[in-house]
Chains A and B, each alone.
Chain A
Amino acid sequence: MDKYEERVRNAVSAIRSEREDSINGALAALNDLEVTELVQELCVSIEDVTSGKDVDRLLAAATLPLPDNPLTLVDAVDRKDITALHAYANGDFVTLLASMLALIASLQEAGDRI
């Protein structure tokens, strides 16, 4: 597991824990990652939690907070369309990062439960 995969996993786990200190610590660990590769890793992580799954069912079962228009994110990742991700967040990296992490955490939690 490389550092991108490891730190994104840690961030997702922290969000699932809903503990502020864990979340802040895990997000701080993302600081020194390169932006492009971090976004790409988040895309791969979304692939992991949606591949072969009934995404509508996962979304319906989600109990952790979801970002706005989650299917837009899922579709953009499915099409490997970074431009669509950029448009989703209006170019704001923080919004995109938060949205993708929340989506991964929610879908992962739902997938583990159902």
Chain B
Amino acid sequence: MSDYSVGDLITELSAIRDRADQRPEYIPGDWVEQFQGLASRVHGAAGGDPRAQLAEPIFAAIGRATGSLEDALESRYRASGQLGEYIEGPLKGERGSGSGGEGGGAGANYGSRSERRASFRFPAELKFAVVGAGLFIVGPFVPVVLSPLITVATGALILAKLTHALREADSQHGLDADNDKRRKSRMASAAGSLDDTLWTVLGEVVKIIPGMEIVALGMTLYDGGALIGEHVALLLKQFRSRDEREN
């Protein structure tokens, strides 16, 4: 039996993204079907509490799917470290004298590109959100679709697919035919609404995993795309800790 892996999904997502005629709201039906199949097989093989049994492979899949999110977070932390070195390092004086200091003007005449980027310091508390639905208009240009926007948005699509599969599997087994939520998940994904999609997905995750109340609390503090990766990383950390304890 050939399972459709999350890696396959990511590969397909990347290929879709690279196509010039890509539309982010387009989600091939076979992805949904393949995930449904995966979830159904796992669900059917499990005994005991079907929700708990189903959660394991779903979370394992999410772990693989969100590897890119973790990489992005690590990159951010590495960049923060490099920024600290940049500020505190011995080259500070040279840069300061060469171009009028950190806040001094264009600063286009020193350092490598990455060093120049690092000179724009991001306050630690600053968070950007993806507030809109991913649509904006640049002057007279046609509406430009910019969603999925960043890695977390790609992760959101993957998570939405997984949730969709979970909902389908539940429905098939008569556990929970919450069509409204499933429709909401679809609609959020179709509209490219990162907030709605992630809210729905994380809500589902919290519901099926015991001991995830802290995440529910964290969700109330949710304030945009920058936190999404952190939420997911927290989910993964808790899941893996639980997995290690059980093993």
Contact = CB atoms under 8 A, between A and B. Distances in A.
Do these two chains interact? yes
Interface of A: 1-2, 4-5, 15, 18, 20-25, 27-41, 43-44, 47-48, 50-52, 64-66, 77-80, 82-83, 86, 89-98, 101-102
B173 to A, nearest CB: 35
A35 B114 CA distance: 14
Contacts of B136: 94-95, 98
Contact of A24 (B20, B72, B103, B105): B20
B113 A2 contact: yes
B43 to A, nearest CB: 32
B106 A65 contact: no
Chain A binding site: helix, strand, loop or mixed by DSSP?
A: helix
B131 A82 contact: no
Interface of B: 17-22, 68, 72, 75-76, 79, 102-103, 105-109, 113-114, 116-123, 126-132, 134, 136, 138-142, 144-151, 153-154, 224-226
Given A40-B120, A82-B122, A98 B130 contact: no
Contacts, number: 161
A84 B119 CA distance: 15
Contact of B118 (A29, A33, A40, A94): A40
B20 A95 contact: no
Nearest to A25: B20
A25 B131 CA distance: 22
Leading 7 A-B pairs by shortest Cβ distance:
A65-B139, A51-B106, A40-B117, A93-B128, A51-B108, A92-B131, A25-B20
Contacts of B225: 35, 93
Given A44-B116, A91-B127, A96-B128, A31 B150 contact: yes
A28 B140 CA distance: 20
Given A2-B113, A47-B108, A98-B146, A39 B130 contact: no
A39 B127 CA distance: 12
Contacts of A97: 146, 149
B21 A35 contact: no
A51 B110 CA distance: 12
A37 B79 contact: yes
Contacts of B17: 28, 31
Contacts of B117: 4, 37, 40-41, 43-44
B79 A36 contact: yes
A79 B121 CA distance: 11
A55 to B, nearest CB: 10
A78 B102 CA distance: 10
Contact of B129 (A1, A34, A44, A93): A93
Given A40-B118, A44-B113, A64-B139, A34 B123 contact: no
A34 B147 CA distance: 15
6 contacts: A80-B102, A89-B128, A92-B129, A96-B128, A97-B146, A98-B136
